[in-house]
Amino acid sequence: MTERLIYLPLGGAGEIGMNAYVYGYGRAGKERLIVVDLGVTFPDMDSSPGVDLIMADLAWLEENADRIEAIFITHAHEDHIGALAHVWNKLRKPVFARAFTGRIGQLKLEEAGIPAETIQIVEPRPHAIDAGPFAVQFVPVSHSIPESSALVIDTPAGRIVHTGDFKLDGNPIVGEAFDPVLWHEIAQEGEGVKVLVSDSTNVFSPAPGRSEATLAEPLTKLIADQTGMIVATTFASNVARLKTLAEAGVAAGRSVCLLGRAMKRMVGTAQETGVLKGMPGTIPPEEAVKLPRGDVMLIVTGSQGERRAASAQLSRGKYLGLEMKEGDSFLFSSKTIPGNERGVIRIMNAFSEMGVDVIDDHDGLYHVSGHANRPDLEAVHDLLRPKMLIPMHGEHRHLREHAKIAQAKGIASEVAINGSMIDLSGHVPQVVEYIEAGRTYLDGSVKIGAMDGVVRGRIRMALNGLVLVTVILDEQDQPLGDPWVETMGLPKLGRGGANLVDQIEDEMTDFLNRASVKVLSKDDKMDEALRRIARQVSMEEIGKKPEVIVVTSRLTDE
């Protein structure tokens, strides 16, 4: 039997979020495995109400845990590292990351009661980590968080480049620039790059991406022009942006105050691990309160409208003694991720009502993306000259477009969505198997499958309301008193003004008085009949069919 090289995305391919990729080398079904990234996706009210976090379904990986050599984390964004602390106990393998990423991960593990040393901090290329048949090097790339890395994965079947999230930025302000010379070297070594597995997020953006450095001038000018207090928000992990914003504030003679736990943790970790240098000093909120408004700049969390973050708190009123007023300005130095628009717009309107000027990035002056645009992706294809390209980190439409671009250049490509196992051993990628790949929800403190029906039931209750029916039957299966109905999430009165609960109870009493012992003695028949009555009466009275729970209590002779 011959050995093969496989790639298996379990999350992040066909969606943006919860990245989890597997590579394997060995005899079919016995390949030794490495895992790249273990991230989360965030729930929303429409499809996953009440859920805390969403992760890839790792059942296949857990079943094959004895084949896993190691886990590699490319960078500290939640969609790449957020699941690690929640799933590590089932995998229990060494985790490798660079200093900043590793430190962020260690803090998360410690919070989950897992020893920090689980994550081993490693140096970038030329250092390589041997993991079974794999030798893995971390190679710096630029992105919207410090120290993002691509992985160069050498295998007996050839070299894979897994880009992680990246953009081409020669001057990213914090962290390492994208270094074309280094990447040229990587492409030239040995037999070159066999497979490029690449970020596809911005494949539809036609213009070359802009550098983080282009923001300093417009931001400095904008902040200098404000007279009241200025508040700016961006992603807490975008340390370069925090630095640019803080420098712009200081240049305008303002004292800068950071608000939000996530932001302080990112800045603190970036300083501690040496990736952030020269960050202007900041003041605590107690001091900011005492200064004239025009002398203060706040940099806050909550650019995506998150309800508990500092932005949302300020939009609702006083927060840590600070309050927005007419004449102040609020800047979104960020992009609203699709799905978050409603929360962001709610905050914008709340500020607008206070007389605060809201400035967003509609003209592209105050934010740049962390992902490579189409011409940048093509530049990387040309630089690395891979024999195959597998698009990742994108919705289906992104993956398909990226595959088309590769194929047009004569690079063999395949759209590989979550669960598709691809054999990379030959000259073209081949789908060899489909693994069950879905989503796991962290719901409170319990993990549930997205298809388990828990959230489906929750959505049905939310949409339809709930009727609870209690019936007591005596030893002869005769009703003891009248049935008793309670509702949740339903109007009290029907369209004719009658009380809904009374109407349902009356119909049920009638039914129980007429019903035969044959029906009354069987739980399932009773359940069915009472459910139908509750739904029919509700339909007549309020035009809705609610969810119904029937509780039948039977007295027995004993």
Per CB under 5 A, residues contacting Zn ion are 77, 165
CB 484 within 8 A of CB 469: yes
- Give dist(CA 392, CA 165) in Å, integer: 10
Q: Which helix (H) or strand (E) is 34 found in, with range? A: strand 32-36
CB of 165 to Zn ion, least distance (A): 3
CB of 164 to Zn ion, least distance (A): 8
- Give dist(CA 94, CA 88) in Å, integer: 9
CB of 391 to Zn ion, least distance (A): 16
- Give dist(CA 322, CA 297) in Å, integer: 11
CB of 200 to Zn ion, least distance (A): 13
Which one, 128 or 262, has the nearer CB to Zn ion? 262
- Give dist(CA 93, CA 272) in Å, integer: 26
The dihedral through the CA atoms of 72, 75, 78, 80 has a sign that is: negative
3-state helix, strand, coil in the chain (%, to 5): 35, 25, 40
Rg over CA atoms, the chain:
29
CB of 77 to Zn ion, least distance (A): 4
Which one, 31 or 165, has the nearer CB to Zn ion? 165
CB 528 within 8 A of CB 449: no
CB of 75 to Zn ion, least distance (A): 6
CB of 138 to Zn ion, least distance (A): 15
**Chain centre distance of CA 202:** 17
CB 255 within 8 A of CB 283: yes
Burial letters 5-35, b for 16+ CB under 10 A, else e: bbbbbbbbbbbbbbbbbbbbbbeeeebbbbb
Q: Which helix (H) or strand (E) is 482 found in, with range? A: none
CA distances, 171 to each of 176, 211, 214 (Å): 8, 6, 9
CB of 236 to Zn ion, least distance (A): 13
